[in-house]
A and B are shown apart, each in its own frame.
Chain A
Amino acid sequence: VTEKEKKETINSWINLYTSDLFSWALYKVSSKETTEDLVQDTFVAAFSGLEKFKNNSSPKSWLFSILNNKIVDHYRKTKNQTIHFQDIGEQLAIENANSFFSTDEYWVEKINSSTWNEKENVLDNLEFQKVLNNCLEKLPAKWKDIMVYKFLIEKDSKEICKDFELTSSNYWQIIHRSKLLLKNCIQKNWSL
């Protein structure tokens, strides 16, 4: 592979994937400057390690795995995350989600009345998006990450499991529980 071909590959990837990489990094680190550095470092690393890229994985997945390592490094350098507290949050959230079901696994509360899914135009309703965002904020950090990742990256579940080091059943439980908590939160905070 010549230098010129390498540059062409990287440039086409910049065109295709910068937007997704940028959004994800910005969501994770919240600072525009840091985000730009991380995404740039990702492409620099991809350029110099291009030989290691195997065509059987998608370029997008490969770039995201590089970026995720950079994000982890960034956090390692700047602060020690308090994982301890997140674990307590997750345990509470699990209990919360389980509380929607009785011990024989049926709904504690049945829905008979109409609910927010029948209201029109919620997608473009700013108030609804605000409520949804607040509700997303209340999820355990890891769950929120996974939900955002799932919709931002549009990867299949197998790849997401790999990126977050989750088993498939673990992943589906997180999606299920997150949805239960989100629905409940929207129900409480959204009314037309």
Chain B
Amino acid sequence: MSIFHSLFYTCKEASLQVEKKLDDTLSFSQKLKLNCHLFFCNTCKKYKQQSILLNKAIAHGVLKNKANIKEFKEKLSARFND
């Protein structure tokens, strides 16, 4: 079990590593181990695809909600200009 475990991620570990990979915080050997798992595991592959899309969708939604603050900015600048 322990040798098996040191070579292969479980699905829980692999999907967690996917999140780190999307943030670019995996070492080379971790990436290798993850890719190995993804090669054999369709559900984790799917997890990764959906996770990438979710990241895009959340960023998209958050950016779209950015308020129009031009006026407020000008008010702020004026405060520090006189």
Contact = CB atoms under 8 A, between A and B. Distances in A.
A93 interface: no
Q: For chain A, what secondary structure do more than half of its interface residues adopt (helix, strand, loop), or is it mixed?
A: helix
Interface in B50-69: 50-51, 53-62, 64-67, 69
Interface residues of A, number: 52
A92 interface: no
B54 A183 contact: yes
Contact of B53 (A36, A117, A173): A117
Interface residues of B, number: 40
Q: For chain B, what secondary structure do more than half of its interface residues adopt (helix, strand, loop), or is it mixed?
A: helix
Contacts of A129: 57, 60-61, 64
Interface string A155-192: 01100000000000000110110011011001000000
Interface stretch (A53-61, A74-82, A102-110): A102-110
B11 A23 contact: no
Contacts, number: 115
A132 B58 contact: yes
B79 A122 contact: no
Interface stretch (A62-70, A83-91, A145-153): A145-153
Interface of B: 10-13, 15-16, 19-20, 23, 25, 42-44, 46-47, 49-51, 53-62, 64-67, 69, 72-73, 76-77, 79-81
